[in-house]
Structure 1
């Protein structure tokens, strides 16, 4: 991962550094990270992405003052297209949202408009923002998933080094074509800069040659000591499955647990379908 650690684009990030919390609106707190830092290593061209998708964030600690100085609180949904030049660095996002705390806005719409403007500028693409009352956010309703969980498979793990080749089927494997919707709640990776753990449930929906569940589970567990941002992990999972498994259709959707009032949920798919509304109990 030295290409990340030595990248000049990461050298000025507030992530991993002591910072002050500013409670007056300041758009300059936002920082972007080029998606190309990850995609170059995956041989992905910005002009020819092998997937469609978006990154969906939920903010649970957004507050501001109305024109009379009374606090307002909201849950925010942020959507960034996977075609954006940058991802928003999460600590800078938290600091930016914190700067709304003691700032007066005339309406919910003015807050939403401000968020769209600032986030679109840092991502270099059109961001979408929706604000909800804290007790009325339909997208965060917990629904029972129909995905088949592979976590209980009895496997032995001897290494926690990222091992994409393990996905490659053994010779002579039956090339049965199936459609499966799988979930693993054991995905753990670490922040690229701070090494803090990132926990997620990853949903894999595919049609193609049947993927060995044991091999898939071992592969996902091999991220356990891997350092990468959320969005980059999901793109790596997508590309590795595409490379080593014979799939015709594929979607990968990771639901990460929140940190500092934000959760990040990257979705990548071979189709233009929108990410499903899907919240896990850990969120």
Structure 2
């Protein structure tokens, strides 16, 4: 992998790029997580959560040993404790490099992906390849109760924990909203998504929670950091015994991302892929 500053200033995102036709691991562009975590009071090595960034790539193709094209859908799982995330456009450019590259087997494709992504992220990355009609890719619905029909008035579109209100009753519930929207920190393009919150602790006021989530509507940040922002705000404000925050973002450029962060012992529901993905 080429040596270069891992900052957004030099990232391919928002720049005109030539799409490669041959494999090049150097196209992957890692970005340290620490800079975005510091404002949330999160120290590397002392993460207040466990979690993963789950990616699906729907434009994966390569040539077999005889030159015949093969296609698949890829699922990648990048651990939240990896020191680096991988910038999405560089990931897409990297995958495009497989299009005219020959591999002896499907296993060799997986081995190559796992090796290159692990080097970029600084941690083990799991890779699965699915046939395009595999039942594992079936569309599901989020579990729990939807907040979106609440009739609320909103005039603040910035993510402020001051919007959150907490009651005294201890509950265990799963809530979700399809009204999550944030913006790319480089291009300003909208990132649409759904967010699920599962917790045990003092009851969250639902109107205040929906108002808080809608507050990300004009916020510019990566998907992963938005989820970490929500997690840390909920932990600070409500202090739940258990908490899971999961976002399922809409596919863009053939890639979707679904980060989740949770207290130790919590896991997201699986399998789970929404119609907008």
Q: What is the aligned residue count?
A: 272
Verify: 1:278 aligned to 2:276, yes or no. Answer: no
How many angstroms apart in 2 are the aligned matches of 1:57 and 1:103?
A: 22
Q: Which of residues 225, 248, 255 in structure 1 aligns to 2:218?
A: 225
Cα distance in 2 for partners of 1:235, 1:262 equals 20
Question: Is 1:73 the counterpart of 2:66 in the alignment?
Answer: no
Match of 2:57 in 1: 59
Please report the RMSD computed on the Cα atoms of aligned residues, expressed in angstroms.
Answer: 1.3
Structure 2 Cα separation of the partners of residues 109 and 275 of structure 1? 27
In 2, Cα distance between equivalents of 1:181 and 1:281: 20
Give structure 1 stretches of 5+ with no counterpart.
Answer: 1-6
1:8 and 1:19 map into 2 onto residues whose CA distance is 18
Q: Contact 2:244/2:268 (CA < 8 Å) preserved in 1?
A: no
State the Cα distance separating 1:41 from its structure 2 match: 0.6
Partner of 1:238: 231
Q: What is the CA-CA distance between 1:271 and the residue it aligns to?
A: 2.3
1:252–1:269 contact (8 Å) kept in structure 2: yes
Structure 1 stretches of 4+ with a deviation exceeding 6 A read: none
Q: Which residue of 2 aligns with 1:146?
A: 143
Contact 1:54 1:275 in 2 (8 A): no
2:251 corresponds to which residue?
258
Instruction: Give the secondary structure class of the aligned counterpart of 1:18.
Output: coil
Q: Give the TM-score taking structure 2 as reference length.
A: 0.95
Q: How much does 1:145 deviate?
A: 3.4
Which residue of 1 is the match for residue 24 of structure 2? 26
CA contact (8 A) 1:53 1:275 kept: no
Normalising by the residue count of structure 1, what TM-score does the alignment of the two structures yield?
0.93
Q: How does 1:172-251 map to 2 (within 5 A)?
A: 174-251=167-244
Paired residue for 1:4?
none
Which sits farther off after the overlay, 99-108 or 270-279?
270-279
In structure 1, the partner of 2:160 is 163
